[in-house]
Amino acid sequence: MISVKEAREFIAGNTPAPVAEILCLDQCAGRILAEDVVSDIAMPPFDRSAMDGFAVRGICEEYSLMDEIPAGVHPPPIPSDGMAAPIMTGAPVPVGADRVVMVEVTTVKDGLLTINKMPDIGANICLKAEDITKGQTVLNRGILITPSETGIAAMAGRETLSVFRKPTISVLTTGTEVIPPVHVPGPGQVRNANSILISTFLSQAGFGAVKVFHSADDPASLRNAASQALSVSDILITAGGVSMGTHDYIPSVMEEIGYKFHFRAVAQKPGKPFSFATGPCGKMMFGLPGNPVSVLVGLEMYVLATLRHFSGHSNFSRTELKGKLTGTIRKKTGRLNYFRTIAELTQQGWTLRKPASSGSGDLMSTGGTNSITWLSPESTGAAEGDQVPFTLMSWAGGESCWE
């Protein structure tokens, strides 16, 4: 049995380096950029009007009007003082104009323009290249691409981007006693909550399109299911069948098909029988216990960090916060203990409240929780008011969960 720190080091040391691929812009949101993006033009590419109004030349009592300037044209210059041209937002400002006057402070009568309040010279004109110069780097390698970045890339003349590939993932739940949720359990049977728990967790974290398999506790069936799952994925996540029981066949089956286990137990609670193995072509396997809360902890504290590392995120270590405990926690020494908690940010800082139930099979106790608190292996517990470490669950903290 190894420590939590050692488990994380084994996993990080065996995670393949991110691999880039080229995608069209409409497929890039949620990916990590694998290149710098440079603009091929200045932005704006010309002096343009910031609003609907009049492009004017000089300061005069009244102005003769020229033809209107809509967006998308190349306007003639304003040849002399005392002349003005109606202009639309985004339209090029004609040569000779020294400002744009907003419609609301003007009067037009008998074809002549009067300005009731003259703005400063240069007012309401977006100058060429004031946002971006030609050749400027507008997006840096390593950033998370959001819709804003795709728009910036389009402005820079790009239709595709080099982004880091996300892993393909398969989930394999095990158990002869496990049945689909729509079935009514018979004697000794339980509904399969883990498959939907894992697949929806991954989907909300941005790693969807998960392929789900299930197998009875039978070596031949497990071998077939695991082989199918690994044939279509980079990472296999199993739930159940990894402990030391006579029907826990996952470790032996994975070794038969060429996988090396780096560890099979971690000094933690819940989730002691947590395993990690690697196989051909850099493929990875996480073996989670069958208890649903252990599954959730394994996903939050190990698996998601690996998926981010694989996908090119520079931040894939959990952000550690501190919160004041409400109530008390007791534990035995020897293992790091994880507790699901309810974190609330007050004017005095974070407070943490533990739900009444804390069993590793009690998925109901996770409802309403938004954080995971832990106590070190040496700790015997924590008292009311103690400051204890925690991290927000990924769905509650978003990018703030990572550093």
Q: Per the domain annotation, does 331 fall within a domain?
A: yes
If one counts the domains in the chain, the total is: 4
pLDDT tens column, 188-223: 999 999 999 999 999 999 998 899 999 999 999 999
Q: Would 132 be classed as within a structural domain?
A: no
Instruction: Determine the pLDDT at residue 246.
Output: 75
Q: Is residue 315 part of a domain?
A: no
* Tokens matching residue 13: 């040391």
220 and 94 within one domain:
no
236, 104: one domain: no
Over residues 371-398, the mean pLDDT reads 96
Q: What's the confidence (pLDDT) of residue 360?
A: 56
| Sign of the alpha-carbon dihedral angle for 338, 283, 240, 399 | positive
Domain co-membership, 291 together with 177: yes
Question: Are 291 and 367 part of one and the same domain?
Answer: no
Are 96 and 156 found together in one domain?
no
CATH number at residue 272: 3.40.980.10
Per-residue pLDDT at 243: 81
Three-state secondary structure call for residue 154: helix
Domain boundary among 291, 310, 329: 310
Residue 93 within a domain: yes
Q: Are residues 10 and 65 in the same domain?
A: no
Phi, psi torsion values for 275, nearest 5 degrees: -130, 160
Distance in angstroms (rounded) separating the CA atoms of residues 401 and 304: 11
Whether the CB-CB separation of 226 and 254 falls below 8 Å is answered with: yes
Q: What is the pLDDT of residue 365?
A: 77
The answer to whether residues 220 and 350 belong to one domain is no
pLDDT tens digits, 44-55? 999 999 999 999
pLDDT digits (tens, 9 = 90+) for 140-150: 999 999 999 99
What is the CATH number for 116?
Answer: 2.170.190.11
| Residue 316 resides in a domain | no
192 and 302 together in one domain: yes
Looking at the fold, whether 150 and 176 belong to one and the same domain comes out as no
Range of the domain at 235: 4-19+166-310
Q: Which pLDDT value is given to residue 241?
A: 85
pLDDT score for 359: 60
Residue at a domain's end among 310, 332, 360: 310
Domain boundary (78, 96, 126) is at 126
pLDDT at 245: 75
Answer yes or no: is 107 within a domain. yes
**Domain CATH number, residue 352:** 2.40.340.10
Contacts of 99 (CB under 8 A, 6+ apart): 55, 56, 119, 120, 121, 122, 123, 124, 125
pTM of the model: 0.88
| CA 240/CA 287 separation, integer angstroms | 7
Residue-level pLDDT at 20: 98
Same-domain status, 35 and 52: no
CATH number, domain containing residue 149: 3.90.105.10
DSSP strand pairing (137-139 vs 53-56): unpaired
User: pLDDT class for 244, splitting at 50, 70, 90?
Assistant: confident
- Whether residue 9 is found in the same domain as residue 28: no
| 246 and 360 together in one domain | no
